[in-house]
A and B are shown apart, each in its own frame.
Chain A
Amino acid sequence: MRRSLLSLVLLLVLALVAAGCGQDGAGSDAPAPADQGATFPVTLDTPAGKLTLEQQPARIVSMSPTATEMLFAIGAGKQVAAVDSNSNYPEEAPRTDLSAYEPNVEAVAGFKPDLVVYSDDPGDLAAGLGKLAIPALQQPAARTLDDTYAQLDQLGRATGHLGEATQLAATMRAEIARIAAAKPAHQLTYYHELDKSLYSATSKTFIGQLYAQLGMRNIADAADKDGSGYPQLSAEYVVKANPDLIFLADTKCCAQSASTVAARDGWGDLTAVRTGGVVELDDDVASRWGPRVVDFLKTVAAKVETLDPAGS
C-alpha cells in the first residue's frame, strides 16, 4: 500500500521532471559529440536476439548497478529515469526501490521507460516487458574485460553516446595496460574473499582475470575442480596456502576487516596478517564490471607495490 503510493508520487514527480528534461534534453543531447551512434534506429545483438530501437531513448530504467555506472560514465545519465535499489553509484543516479532480485514488471513500467537495461532476469522481467512492448536490453555479468568493452560499446549505440563510450573504453584499456606494465618481479599469491564462510573467486572469473593482469597467483584455483569459478575454501587450506595478500570483498555485506581476519582461529600467523597484506575492498567495486574496475586495479596495484621492493 505504502509502496504503491510512493511509486505513484515518484511517478508523478518523475513525469514532471522528465517533461522538463525532455525539452532541454532534446536540445543538448541531439548534437551530442559527433558520432555515428546518434543515428536511430539502431539494431543491437542481445542474448535474447535482435533489439531495434526506433529512436534515442530518453527514459531509461537500469536494473543493473553496473549498467547504471556505465550509463553515467558515457554521458547518458540525463536519459536515465530510474535505477534499481542497488545502483548506489554514482551519487546522482535516480535510485528507487525497484528490486533487481524480484523485479516487478508493473513497477518498472510505471516509470514509462523507453529502454530497460538489466543483467539477470530471475522473474520473467523480459517476458513481461515484451508484452508491454518496452525494449529490454540484457547485459549479463561480464566474463572478461572484453565483455565490459563490448557492453560499453553497446550502451553507447543504444543511447546515442557511442563516441564517449569508445573513448571511455580506450582510456580504460590504456590505464589497465599501464598498471599491468608495472607488475611485480616475483609472483605474489592472493586470496579473494567473497564472504566469511570462505567463498572465493578463481582466476577464470572476471575479478580473477583482473588480478592476473598483475601477474598474481590465485590460491582458490586448486579448489575449483567443478569449474564453477566460485569454490568455498576450507580454512585449513587457506592457512596452509598462506597467501601474500588477502583481499576482502565482504567488508560491507559481512563487516569483515583486517582486524576480524586477524582474530579468526588459526589465521593470526598468516604472512598477510603479519605484514599488513590484508586489503579491505569496497564490495560493490569488487563485484561490478563497469568503469570502476580501473579503480579496483589501482587499489590492488598500490598494495602490491608496497610489498614488492624489487618490482619498481
Chain B
Amino acid sequence: MTVTERRPGRTEVVPEPRPGPAGLRAAPLAVAMAGLAGAALVAVLVGPVRLPPGAVLAELAGRLPGVHIRSGLTRQEAAILWELRLPRVVLGGLVGAMLAMAGAAYQGVFRNPLADPYLLGAAAGAGLGATLAIAYGPDTSTWPVDLLPLAAFGGAVAGVVAAYALGRSGGARTATTLILSGVAVAAFLTAIQTYVQQQKAETLREVYGWILGRLTTAGWREVALVVPYALVSTVAILLHRRLLDVLAVGDDEATSLGLNASQVRLVVVGAATLATAAAVAVSGLIGFVGIIVPHTVRLVAGTSYRRLIPLSLVGGAIFLILADLVARTVAAPAELPIGVVTAFFGAPFFALVLRTARRVP
C-alpha cells in the first residue's frame, strides 16, 4: 500500500482547495460528474411507463425559474414524473453515494479492503430495528412519518455504538478489536432478530423484502429524511479524507506523525454510520455498493483517499441510479429487487475491473 502526498505534521489543517497537481483531481471528478448527470438523465427519461422524452425535458425545464414552457404531458404523466420517477432517481443517487462513501471510509479507518458500511453491526442493528417495528410496531398509518425507517435508523446507530463500546482492548480501540466486537454484536443482534421472526412468522415476508432492499416506494419524504444526515456525514468525511491517507500507514506510525488515530477513527466511523443508517432507513439493506464502488475507483484513479472519497460519492450515485434503472425496467411493469441487481451486475463488473487493471489495491 502506498501513501501519496502525505504531509506529516499538518494533520489539523483543513484541506486546501487544490492539494497536489490540480489536473490529477479535477479531470476524474469532472468525468465522474458528467457520468452522474448522464445516468440521472437516462434514469429520468426511461421507466416502465413510456413518457415522450422531449416532453419530459420540456417539463423539467419548465420548472426552472423564469422559464415558461408547456410540456404537453398530461396531469397523470406529470405526476408519474414528479412524484414517482424523479424522487426515486434522486433517492437512488443519495443512497448509492452514502453507501459508497461509507464503504470507502470504513476501508480507510480499518485498513481492511473487505470492510463495508455494514461491518460494525449497522446492518444487523438496522435489521433488528426494522423487524421489531414490523412485528410489534403500533399502527402508524395516521402518523406523519413511518415507524420503520426510524427504527432501522436507530437500530443501525445502536449496533455500531454497541460495537464501539465493546471494542476496546487494553485501554485502546484498535482496528482489529473494533472489527471483532462488530462481529460479536452483529451475531447477537441477528440472533434476536431471528427469534422475533420465529415468534411472528407472518412478518417474515415483509422483513425479507426489506432485507433485499428497495426503492420501489421512494418519494420526496424519504429524500427529505436522508438529506440532512447525508450533508453532515459527507462534510465530516470529506474534511477527514486527508487524515485517512495518514492513517493508512498504521496506528503507531500515524501517532508518531502527530495524529490521534483513535479520535480520527471515532469521527469517521461516526459520520459513516450516520450515512449508512440514513441510507438503510429508506432503502433497506442494499449490498455490494460499499465494496464494489470504492475498489473500482481505486483501480481506476489510485488509492489516495483525497481522490477516493469524492469519486466514491459520485461513483456510488451513478452505480445505484443505473442499478435501479435496471431493477425497474428489465421486467417492466414488474420490479426486480435492487439488491439482486447490484450483486448480479456489480460482482462480474468488479471482477472485470480487477482483471483489466492488474493492480491489486
Residues of B within 8 A of A50 (CB): none
Residues of B within 8 A of A256 (CB): 141
Q: A101-B204, A223-B333, A256-B141 are in contact. Are A242 and B76 (CB under 8 A)?
A: yes
Stretch touching chain B among A140-148, A169-177, A225-233: A225-233
Question: Contact partner of A233 among B85, B140, B209, B334, CB < 8 A?
Answer: B334
Docked pose: A101 CA to B83 CA in angstroms: 38
Beta-carbon nearest neighbor of B328 in chain A: A234
Stretch touching chain B among A33-41, A54-62, A192-200: A192-200
Pick from A101, A195, A256, A260 the residue with the most CB of B within 10 Å: A101
Contact, CB under 8 Å: B328 / A240: no
Contact, CB under 8 Å: B79 / A195: no
Contact of A255 with B by CB under 8 A: yes
Q: A101-B201, A232-B216 are in contact. Are A198 and B87 (CB under 8 A)?
A: no
Looking at the assembled complex, report how far the CB atom of B215 sits from the nearest CB atom of chain A, in whole angstroms.
Answer: 10
Residues in A238-285 with C-beta less than 8 Å from chain B = 239-242, 253-257, 259-260, 264-266, 268-269
Q: A86-B202, A255-B141 are in contact. Are A197 and B333 (CB under 8 A)?
A: no
Contact, CB under 8 Å: B335 / A233: yes
Pick from A232, A241, A242, A255 the residue with the most CB of B within 10 Å: A232
Residue interface bits A90-126, CB-to-B below 8 A is 1, else 0: 0000000001111000000000000000000000000
Contact, CB under 8 Å: B84 / A239: yes
Contact of A5 with B by CB under 8 A: no
Looking at the assembled complex, report how far the CB atom of B197 sits from the nearest CB atom of chain A, in whole angstroms.
Answer: 9
Contact, CB under 8 Å: A236 / B217: no
Contact of B332 with A by CB under 8 A: yes
Contact, CB under 8 Å: A234 / B216: yes
Beta-carbon nearest neighbor of A196 in chain B: B217
Contact of A222 with B by CB under 8 A: yes
Contact, CB under 8 Å: B141 / A234: no
Docked pose: A264 CA to B332 CA in angstroms: 21
Residues of A within 8 A of B232 (CB): none
Question: Contact partner of B49 among A99, A236, A255, A269, CB < 8 A?
Answer: A236
Beta-carbon nearest neighbor of B75 in chain A: A269
Contact, CB under 8 Å: A224 / B334: yes
Residues of B within 8 A of A234 (CB): 47-48, 216, 328, 332-335
Beta-carbon nearest neighbor of B201 in chain A: A101
* A interface SS class: loop
Residue interface bits B57-75, CB-to-A below 8 A is 1, else 0: 0000000000000000001
Beta-carbon nearest neighbor of A235 in chain B: B84
Q: A223-B333, A239-B76, A256-B141 are in contact. Are A198 and B49 (CB under 8 A)?
A: no
Contact of B16 with A by CB under 8 A: no
Contact of B214 with A by CB under 8 A: yes
Contact, CB under 8 Å: B79 / A232: no
Taking A231-B335, A236-B84, A254-B206 as given, write out 10 further A-B residue pairs in contact, using a Cβ cutoff of 8 Å, ordered by the A residue number: A102-B198, A197-B209, A198-B216, A222-B333, A223-B333, A234-B47, A237-B49, A237-B332, A239-B80, A265-B219
By a beta-carbon cutoff of 8 Å, the part of chain B in contact with chain A is 47-49, 75-76, 79-80, 82-85, 87, 139-141, 198, 201-202, 204-206, 209, 214, 216-217, 219-221, 328, 331-335
By a beta-carbon cutoff of 8 Å, the part of chain A in contact with chain B is 86, 99-102, 195-198, 222-226, 231-237, 239-242, 253-257, 259-260, 264-266, 268-269
What are some 13 contacts across the A-B interface (CB < 8 A)? Answer: A195-B209, A198-B335, A233-B334, A234-B47, A236-B47, A240-B49, A253-B202, A257-B141, A265-B219, A265-B221, A266-B80, A266-B82, A268-B79
